[in-house]
Chains A and B, each alone.
Chain A
């Protein structure tokens, strides 16, 4: 993981998060190798550490290489739109992994790591 993201991705993500009803602030955390944010949510919702992945393919190796800030939980956002999705079933680590759609859904729960994206409805 690193910071190799297209210039349009960060504004797109920030825009989507700013529009979320539960998000009150997106605080950047300085790191030389990763884009990291602390997402402050309203009321009883806990804050979430958000680490952006710039991987073209997010797999088991990417998950192993996760940032140490996630040791007590957080969300790994697969930031590249062309990258794959990734399912992890390790609720003990309290880590959620997914794309922007999953993150926006997960922000509605305190146990955000257990959130599963509902199947798409075909029109």
Chain B
């Protein structure tokens, strides 16, 4: 109930008409006060202004403000870290965490990395489809030692260090994961060691991701970003849009924001025009949130592929495009729910 009161007292000015009228009113109200204040300040530094010079001083102030803003934007943009020439493996550490959410967040990049390597280099992967590499699992064998084993060691260490955070309901599952890690290592040391009874417990991925998804998507940071991106992507050419990927599990640790969208256009010229508009949004997002946006776009002719892609993404957050205004009845209903 308490949270509803400030919302009503301090409404968000979605509507440009409201904003303009309020600003005009405020400007008229505060003009005499500002005038007095400015005159006093300028008098103190030895400048006396007459009534005739007011518009010129106003224009000079606006020019100064706009120049300052442009310079600040330029430096802010250059401060954004560009990706290094070669993508590097993220360094994960074995740490003690405060809660199950943080614990799960630390496991996701490590487990995703293992999954990606298995899918890319493991048996029946892309590597085996390339002629010179057919029947050659060298890359898989190397990746297991170079990446999966070190990742597994950190995963196991995190589980041991934070075992008290694991809910009793999931303790057995985490034990199964530890058994898998141990047997996998044994199998690599001795290929005759059979670890088929200790396969990776795949359901653990959902336990971990569910925990992160539910908390992350209700965070203020996530809501701010999703609200911003939803508004900026309110183009008539976009029929549906979702946030997907790592941002759903951790707003701080994700490298970028993945946005999936379905368009209602296929015409190349219209696509080019939309591309220019989306480029502007990407630029603004980078300035504001110091992250990149990664767009996955399906045209009207690619609807079938879109739904296939959508179904593969178990975790997604719909950006519904509804924009609240001061005249939106549902907004008032929410505000007065407590009365």
Contact = CB atoms under 8 A, between A and B. Distances in A.
Interface of A: 2-10, 12, 16, 19, 28, 30, 32, 54-57, 59-62, 64-65, 81-82, 84, 99-101, 104
Interface string B286-299: 00000010111111
A61 B261 CA distance: 11
A61 B88 contact: no
B297 A61 contact: yes
A60 B299 contact: yes
B85 A28 contact: yes
Interface of B: 82-83, 85-89, 113, 116-117, 119-121, 125-127, 129-133, 139, 143, 147, 255-256, 258, 263, 266, 268, 271-272, 274-275, 292, 294-299, 301-302, 305, 309
Given A10-B87, A28-B85, A64 B271 contact: yes
A60 B88 contact: no
B87 A5 contact: yes
A23 to B, nearest CB: 13
Contact of B297 (A30, A62, A99): A62
Contacts of B119: 81-82
Main secondary structure of the interface of A (DSSP, over half): loop
B268 A64 contact: yes
26 contacts: A2-B256, A3-B83, A3-B87, A4-B255, A4-B294, A5-B87, A6-B113, A7-B86, A9-B87, A10-B86, A54-B294, A57-B297, A59-B297, A59-B298, A59-B299, A59-B302, A60-B271, A60-B302, A61-B274, A64-B272, A64-B275, A65-B275, A84-B305, A99-B126, A101-B129, A101-B131
Most chain B CB within 10 A, of A8, A12, A82, is at A8
Contacts of A57: 296-298, 302, 305, 309
Contacts of A5: 87
Given A55-B296, A64-B271, 8 more contacts: A6-B87, A8-B117, A32-B82, A56-B258, A60-B302, A61-B263, A64-B268, A81-B125
Nearest to B297: A61
Question: Which 5 A/B pairs are nearest by Cβ-Cβ distance?
Answer: A81-B126, A61-B297, A7-B87, A3-B83, A64-B271
B233 to A, nearest CB: 14
A84 B129 CA distance: 15
Contacts of B86: 7, 10
A121 to B, nearest CB: 11
Nearest to A104: B130
B253 to A, nearest CB: 15
Nearest to A19: B132
Contact of B309 (A9, A56, A64): A56
Nearest to B125: A81
Contacts of A8: 116-117, 120-121, 143, 147
A84 B113 CA distance: 20
B275 A61 contact: yes
Nearest to A82: B119
Contacts of A99: 126
Nearest to A62: B297
A32 B117 CA distance: 26
Most chain B CB within 10 A, of A10, A57, A99, A100, is at A57
A17 to B, nearest CB: 11
A55 to B, nearest CB: 7
A106 to B, nearest CB: 13
Nearest to A60: B299
A6 B120 contact: yes
Nearest to A81: B126
